[in-house]
Amino acid sequence: MSHLAIAPVLLPLLAGILLLLLRHGDIRLRRALSVAAVVAEIGLAVALLLAVSGGEILVYALGDWPAPYGIVLVADRLSAWLVLTTALLALFALLHALRGIDVAGRHFHVLFQLQLFGLAGAFLTGDLFNLFVFFEVLLLASYGLMLHGGGRARTRAGLHYVVLNLAGSTLFLFAVGTLYGVTGTLNMADLARQVAAVPADNVPVVRAAGLLLFGVFALKAALLPLHLWLPAAYAQASAPAAALFAIMTKVGAYAILRVSTLMFGAGAGPLADLLGGWLLPLALATLVVGMLGAVASTRLRAQVAYLVVASAGSLLTAFGLNTADSIAAGLYYLPHTTFAAAALFLISDAIAGRRGELADRFEPGPALPAHALLGGLFFVAAVAMAGLPPLSGFLGKFLLLRAALDHPWWPWVLGTVLAGSLLGLIALARSGSLLFYRARPAEGAPPPRQAGLTAELAPFAGLLLLGVGLTVAAGPLSDYARATAEQILQPYHYVHAVLGGGER
């Protein structure tokens, strides 16, 4: 039998275990292992994507227990898309860490691989409680990664992050417990069936549970007003960790999308469109608040973190519009914004590392070594993040706005997204100008040529190239996104693949 659906989950777990057992081994060996595992993960993710791209849904019953009794992993287009995005992102975040950050604390590679384990598991599981388990894996691994390297500010931000997210986990348990108590099942496909047929007396309970779940996912996705944990946490984490975290808000967005389409989709009877009226306005508000935060930031890392909040707003706007076109737009935009944010985190690190005491604060300082190169690359990354042409962010925004025109709220969406873009443009133009243009000429001799700058910036360039790839191959990729949106808007396929035709 084929184990393709579970392979991307198990590979990082095995790599993590191996790295833990080899923790005293040569660092070169461990680095090589870690990179090899991520490269192999990309290979597996590509294989998975190809396997499901025709519309097939792979169901993997763990322990051979039939659904809905055992746990199943379910790979459809959506899961494969996110797993691949994660794996690609991970490679470049990891490569950046190899330049020494990985030995600034303990167990970086173990935590990194287990984080990938949690991400892949969260994207592939078809069981609500198992999703909770993977959320826990993610939380603990990300907490470890966030604290990596230590320091006062980092520890403080990490504490806020972990305490709040533990509260989120508790709420998750409340919601899952309620759903199980009323529907008697945890399998998401089975839940979809049970929710659609829920007796009238139980409708309010299920609705409450569904909205509580939404609250948990909104916390993960950094939706207003639950976004406040993100800026400090991301701004304080080490660069490769922050870069990897660019996918973390997408886990929340993914869970919102999955649960709202599968369990509370059009076929859910009185519970259909559970999030209608909640998601879209909150997403638009998130976009605005995120952009305002970016404008108000006094440090580059904090600014990028706020841009991540704003991009979560854009993404959830697309999902909140809840049409095939808008979801497709969001799915096309998702890898772009992930890569762009990660790239900005990496370049921020390169910039901050060359400004001494000033680090990434928006204050004029001496001209950087390799000023022109860093400035140029920052410019490109900023253009990508702001969603300006010609990079893929512009296409994502175009697709989103185009899809929004069918919605009764289109003037709001159009106005907010365009105004948000303008705020992003103003914010990034200001920071670029402050960091690069207002530089005092370096005193004394010109700084020595930076050895290894190319190597340092290679992961960054790799992420940008992924963005270019998204732009050039926009046709087939947006077709895939469109097919994905259509697939998840017809949850019948998913339910049928997991449970078969018969009733329980």
Single out the residue of 272, 296, 455, 465 in contact with another protein (rule: CB under 8 A): 296
Q: Is 133 in the site for another protein (CB under 8 A)?
A: yes
Residues 434-493 that bind another protein (CB under 8 A): 436-439, 441, 474-475, 478-479, 482
Single out the residue of 65, 454, 455, 492 in contact with another protein (rule: CB under 8 A): 65
Give whichever of 36 and 153 is closer to another protein, judged by the CB atom: 153
Length of the chain: 504
Q: Is 55 in the site for another protein (CB under 8 A)?
A: no
Give whichever of 43 and 105 is closer to another protein, judged by the CB atom: 105
Our CA angle for 232, 238, 243, nearest 5°, is 85
Asked if 137 contacts 123 with a C-beta cutoff of 8 angstroms, the reply is no
Residues 317-356 that bind another protein (CB under 8 A): none
> Which of left, alpha, beta for 58 (phi over 0: left; psi -120 to 50: alpha)?
beta
CA distance 299 to 430: 12
Asked if 413 contacts 459 with a C-beta cutoff of 8 angstroms, the reply is no
User: How many positions of this chain bind another protein (CB under 8 A)?
Assistant: 130
Give whichever of 92 and 481 is closer to another protein, judged by the CB atom: 481
Q: Which tokens go with 489? A: 């808007």
Q: How far is the CB of 362 from another protein (least distance, A)?
A: 12
Q: Is 293 in the site for another protein (CB under 8 A)?
A: yes
Give CA separation, 367 vs 37, 343, 351, 435, 439, in Å.
39, 22, 11, 9, 5
Asked if 249 contacts 98 with a C-beta cutoff of 8 angstroms, the reply is no
Single out the residue of 34, 85, 130, 487 in contact with another protein (rule: CB under 8 A): 130
Q: Is 295 in the site for another protein (CB under 8 A)?
A: yes
DSSP 452: T
Give whichever of 60 and 254 is closer to another protein, judged by the CB atom: 60
Q: How far is the CB of 210 from another protein (least distance, A)?
A: 7
DSSP 500: -
CA distance 204 to 355: 56
Taking the chain, what is the end-to-end CA distance rounded to the nearest angstrom? 25
Q: How far is the CB of 293 from another protein (least distance, A)?
A: 5
Give whichever of 56 and 406 is closer to another protein, judged by the CB atom: 406
CA distance 384 to 407: 27
Cα dihedral value 299, 305, 308, 312, nearest 10: -130
Q: How far is the CB of 433 from another protein (least distance, A)?
A: 5
Q: Is 58 in the site for another protein (CB under 8 A)?
A: no
Residues 139-168 that bind another protein (CB under 8 A): 140-141, 143-144, 147-148, 150, 155, 159-160, 163-164, 167-168
Residue 445 CB partners (closer than 8 Å, separation 6+): none
CA distance 193 to 212: 20
Single out the residue of 36, 197, 266, 405 in contact with another protein (rule: CB under 8 A): 405
Q: Which tokens go with 201? A: 């007396």
What three-state secondary structure class fits 290? helix
Q: How far is the CB of 297 from another protein (least distance, A)?
A: 8
Q: Is 53 in the site for another protein (CB under 8 A)?
A: no
Q: Is 64 in the site for another protein (CB under 8 A)?
A: yes
Q: How far is the CB of 412 from another protein (least distance, A)?
A: 12
Asked if 299 contacts 362 with a C-beta cutoff of 8 angstroms, the reply is yes
Q: What's the chain's Rg over C-alpha atoms?
A: 22
> How many helices, marked H, and strands, marked E, lie in the chain?
20, 2
Single out the residue of 23, 55, 197, 269 in contact with another protein (rule: CB under 8 A): 23
Q: How far is the CB of 123 from another protein (least distance, A)?
A: 14
Q: Which one of 33-41, 76-84, 172-180, 447-455 is the stretch in contact with another protein (CB under 8 A)?
A: 172-180
Q: How far is the CB of 75 from another protein (least distance, A)?
A: 13
Q: How far is the CB of 150 from another protein (least distance, A)?
A: 6
Strand-pair partners of 73: 60, 125
Q: Which one of 40-48, 292-300, 341-349, 495-503 is the stretch in contact with another protein (CB under 8 A)?
A: 292-300
CA distance 19 to 129: 28
What three-state secondary structure class fits 238? coil
Q: For another protein, what does the binding mask look like between residues 88 and 117, x meaning CB under 8 A?
A: -----------------xxx--xx--x--x
Q: Is 409 in the site for another protein (CB under 8 A)?
A: no
Residues 269-288 that bind another protein (CB under 8 A): 270
Largest CA distance in the chain: 80
Q: Is 173 in the site for another protein (CB under 8 A)?
A: no
Residues 192-221 that bind another protein (CB under 8 A): 200-205, 207-212, 214-215, 218-219
Q: How far is the CB of 470 from another protein (least distance, A)?
A: 12
Give CA separation, 186 vs 68, 126, 196, 207, 402, in Å.
7, 9, 15, 16, 37
Q: Is 69 in the site for another protein (CB under 8 A)?
A: yes
